[in-house]
Structure 1
Amino acid sequence: MKSLKTYAIPFTGLSLGKHEFDFVVADEFFTEFDYSLVKKADVKCKVELERQETMLILNFHLQGSIGMTCDRCLADYPQNIDIREQQIAKFSEEEIDEDEEVIALSKNDHEINIAGLIYEYINVAVPFIATCGNEGKTPYCDKDMLDRLSKLSGSEEQTEQTDPRWDALKNINK
């Protein structure tokens, strides 16, 4: 978890107004999370923090590529992502309802760690069905694997002849 400390933004010394922070999300980031859908990444994260009297408004822009495995041909390929999200953090001593998508910050907090938010935004952006593109036409697609799968699935014409005894049974219901 030591590497995730680099994703902490100290806000106590910041003046009111907008401030920008840049982060790089790479492979090491995802090793800190068990069971992550993403293992490889090259993502630039720009965070615009707007400090106000009672809250922080965080605007995220994540852009880059994540390593995915195609669900059709099993080839590794880069999936481009471009994510824009907003998160609000309020200064409050009261407990905020879980229904509200607001982070509560107490008077004792002096920084906000955005590693969990970045992880969540990237994993939600992972496509439900990951495909490398047009079958057999992209540089990442494994054409050999697609040929093997189509051969095993029986999508090619069956050249086997049917047994004539079974053909007689097909005519029973007619």
Structure 2
Amino acid sequence: MRKITEFDIQIATLSNKVHEYDFVLDNAFFELFDQNLLNGGLLRAHVILDKTDLLLQFEFKITGHVNVTCDRSLDEFDYPINIDELLLVRYGAVETELDDNVLQILPGTQSINIAQHLFDYVGLAIPIKKLHPRFYEVDEDPDAENILIYTSGSANTPADDDDQDDDGAGDPRWDILKKLK
């Protein structure tokens, strides 16, 4: 099993310039975290670190797919991930998180572990409601967004229209409300 220390970046020994790192986020990576958000996946993370005397700027580029469970059908499917995030780390008197993407560390800090940041960025890229692709209708226009298909009846049942008058027995409360026009 993979150790979380593989994601340590030794910042104390780095010179002030741009450094690049590549990581593979696979099933073993996701097993490091106690989570039920996803079932696994295969992602490539390219991390660009721009180190200066006062600031560390991490640019995360994560691409690939994660395996999630559909909330509607409970089928597993691969959800594509494409992430570009920026994390700023500055030096200060106390170690704290100042904002979602701004951290403050002590000047003597030797290394930064980015595993939790990688996992958080992947977790935030997964939608709250996970639907299998078969529940989306793809439009012919490549610029158009996908349309969610939702039906609560069978395919043969026609939809009720408000403008259409039914000769059959309806709810008498609606008939009284229609007379109020």
TM range (shorter): 0.7 to 0.9
Share of identical aligned residues, percent? 27
CA distances 1:52-103 after superposition (whole Å, capped 9, x unpaired): 0111000000000000112233221111110000001112224657447421
1:6 maps to 6
Deviations 1:128-174 (A, max 9, x none): 2222213499xxxxxxxxxxxx8xx653669xxxxxxxx99x67987
TM-score normalised by the chain length of structure 2: 0.71
Name stretches of at least 5 consecutive residues in structure 2 with no aligned partner.
138-150, 158-167, 177-181
Structure 2 residue aligned with 1:61: 61
- The one-letter amino acid of 2:116's match is G
Structure with greater helix percent: 1
Equivalences for residues 74-89 of structure 1 within 5 A: 74-89=74-89
Give the match's secondary structure for 2:134.
coil
**Could you give the per-residue CA deviations for residues 104-128 of structure 1, whole angstroms, max 9, x where no partner exists?**
2213311110011111100000012
Counterparts of 1:7-156 in structure 2 under 5 Å?
A: 7-94=7-94, 98-99=98-99, 101-135=101-135, 155=154
What's the secondary structure of 2:90's corresponding residue? Answer: strand
Whole-angstrom CA distance in 1 between matches of 2:66 and 2:100 = 30
Q: Does structure 1 conserve the Cα–Cα contact (< 8 Å) formed by 2:97 and 2:103?
A: no
RMSD between aligned residues: 3.1
* Cα distance in structure 2, aligned partners of 1:100 and 1:45: 19
Structure-2 change in CA distance of 1:61 and 1:155 (3 Å): same
Query: Residue 165 of structure 2 corresponds to which residue in structure 1?
Result: none
Partner Cα separation in structure 2 for residue 58 and residue 136 of structure 1 = 35
Judge conservation of contact 2:95–2:105 (CA < 8 Å) in 1: no
Q: Which whole-Å CA distance do the structure 1 matches of 2:73 and 2:156 have between them?
A: 22
The alignment's TM-score, normalised by the length of structure 1, stands at 0.74
**Runs of 5+ consecutive residues of structure 1 not aligned to the other structure:** 138-149, 159-166
Q: Kindly tell me the number of residue pairs found equivalent between the two proteins.
A: 153
- Distance in 1, Cα, partners of 2:23 & 2:95: 30
Task: List per-residue Cα deviations over 1:14-39 (Å, max 9, x = no partner).
Answer: 11110000001111122222234122
